[in-house]
Structure 1
Amino acid sequence: MTTVVQPSVAEQSEAEALHRFQTEAPESVRTALGMTATRIGGGVVLSMREDSTHFWSKALGFGVTAPVTARLVAEVCDFYRAARTPQATLQIAPAFLPEDWPEICAREGIVRGSSSVKLVCTTDEAVARADALAVPPAGIRVAPLAAEHALEWGTVMVRAFGAPVEHYAEMGAATVTRPGWHPYGAWLDGELVGTGTLFVRGDTAQFFAGGVLPHARGRGGQTALLAARARAARQLGCRVLVAETGAETPGTHNSSLHNMLRLGFQAAYERPNWSWRFALDEN
């Protein structure tokens, strides 16, 4: 069954989740990581000046309420210059890129990097696939997360992605009790080893922060986390599920991608990551 989800819905789902994830971090964390944010042309622009992972400074959600233009991109880059952001990633659905995109990139010093896959699925399809699989994970228990495990959950989340714990774990933990977020954990022999959450916006559920620690992988934990969140999304009245993961390149294998495809997600499109860097002569 083909899932039809407009790029506008998929892009705004991710953008609003990422905006909330960062802007709702504790003030002490925002200060330590140099976090600022704004909205430009219907999209969100997020800066984390002290981000050692170079992951969190992102601009996305464009092309929905206003076209992507040279002026809009210049405004985004000016924001990053003013924030003294070392580097940032612009993520724009291919359908929203203007004809003069190569000229815009040349003017602003933007270069193409790796790509991500935007995945979509109807909630009913994901739940039906999860029920059909009916294979319990090996020794893994998945359940909604209690508030008292928030910091532990945030720590496991960043460790699963190979990120530093200091400050980043608190950023993740802050979402656990926030409205709109629905976190889940995966336990192996009493140890929290996996994370995943939903961000609900209207009838759309954004999958976010899904990861399992290396020593607990290969047991079906990630698939169980996906299935649990799909069932939760249906209970919450969501019709559509949205997720992202890295695109495979020749010779690589992304287990997360294949786990989602197995659960009924479909690749809606690949979206390049467009990289901007603060020019040394602007210091």
Structure 2
Amino acid sequence: MTSVFERAQLVTLAEQSEAEFMFQYESGAPAEAAAELGISTQRLEDGVVMVMRNDVTGYWNKALGFTSITDTLIGRILDIYRTEQAPVAVLQLAPDLLPEDWAEISVRHGLTEGGKIVKLIAPIHSVQPEEGKTDLRIGPVTPQDADEWGRLIISAFGMPSGGLDSMLAASVTNPNCRTFAAWDGDQIVAGGSLYLHKSAGVVNAGATAPTHRNRGAQSAIIAARIAAAQDAGCRWVVAEASQPAPGESNPSLNNLIRAGLQPLYVRSSWIWRPRTRW
């Protein structure tokens, strides 16, 4: 049984490892893509605040990784989004870390509760994923594959390119990233990334082209990333996936649980929008 202290440590690791790989994605965007997307990133206390003024997806304007949440901190975060003229802000805050007066704080700052994310974690020695059966070739992504890999990930998530694909592609050469793909012949049809942060390997960006789903690509790519985390000396594997609506299923969440990861908590996204448009 996990003690209160051990759980607090795991929550912190889960939150800050996700914050770090998101920060690396956006802060590492090539200059042209960063200008096109209107990216601005900064560290605030122990978390990160990321602005993408020209994001049409509602996904990339995120603030997360904070472990000491106060009314003053929320005000400082939102001041950044106002100053940067962001179209939206998504504050992702672990439920364990919300203060007792969170209901009042959220109302005071105009935050509304959005979608929910399941955070998962497992000790590296307890994760033994089944590679599954796939007729696709699985392997690491090289710098020569990076552009195609970035396009595949963005497209599979239903996002427009517009600089996002080159932002993702740039992560392939990040020394803390381990990127993998599935090929059908010479074509990349699925992909995923592992980010190394302190004692954790963070499984993220798993996506498959609609034409190649249900062929075992993601199970195999999850297995490859966990093996890479083991090789890197990680003690933990961390991941996140959207919580499905009642009566529905999320294949990504199911794949992660089958690989041996266990839900740690469910985290809400808290949405802020400016009262006026610029």
Q: TM-score range by the shorter chain?
A: over 0.9
Partner of 2:133: 136
In 2, Cα distance between the equivalents of 1:229 and 1:210?
10
Partner of 1:41: 45
Q: TM-score w.r.t. structure 1 length?
A: 0.93
- How far residue 165 of structure 1 moved from its aligned partner, in angstroms, is 1.7
Alignment of 1:95-134 (within 5 A): 95-126=96-127, 128=128, 130=129, 133=130
- How far residue 99 of structure 1 moved from its aligned partner, in angstroms, is 1.0
Q: TM-score w.r.t. structure 2 length?
A: 0.95
Partner of 2:62: 58
- How far residue 135 of structure 1 moved from its aligned partner, in angstroms, is 3.2
The reply on whether 1:201 has 2:201 as its aligned counterpart is no
SS in 1 for 2:41: strand
In 1, Cα distance between the equivalents of 2:238 and 2:180?
17
Partner of 1:11: 15
Which residue, 240, 248, 252 being the options, matches 1:252? 248
In 2, Cα distance between the equivalents of 1:9 and 1:203?
8
- How far residue 146 of structure 1 moved from its aligned partner, in angstroms, is 1.3
- Are the aligned partners of 2:131 and 2:220 in contact in 1 as well (CA < 8 Å)? no
Partner of 2:188: 192
Pairwise CA RMSD of aligned residues? 1.6
| Letter aligned with residue 112 of structure 1 | E
In 2, Cα distance between the equivalents of 1:123 and 1:213?
29
Partner of 1:269: 265
In the alignment, structure 1 segments of 5+ residues that lack a partner are none
Deviations 1:36-65 (A, max 9, x none): 1112221100010100111000000011xx
In 2, Cα distance between the equivalents of 1:152 and 1:238?
28
Deviations 1:5-41 (A, max 9, x none): 6100110000011001110101111111111111222
Deviations 1:91-134 (A, max 9, x none): 000011011111111111100011000011222222x2x2xx35
In 1, Cα distance between the equivalents of 2:149 and 2:208?
11
SS in 2 for 1:182: strand
In the alignment, structure 2 segments of 5+ residues that lack a partner are none
Cα 1:93–1:79 change in 2 (3 A) is same
In 1, Cα distance between the equivalents of 2:215 and 2:160?
25
SS in 1 for 2:203: strand
- How far residue 136 of structure 1 moved from its aligned partner, in angstroms, is 2.2
Partner of 1:278: 274
Partner of 1:89: 90
SS in 1 for 2:228: helix
In the alignment of these two chains, the number of paired residues is: 274
In 1, Cα distance between the equivalents of 2:102 and 2:162?
38
Cα 1:134–1:97 change in 2 (3 A) is closer
| Letter aligned with residue 259 of structure 1 | N
| Letter aligned with residue 185 of structure 2 | D
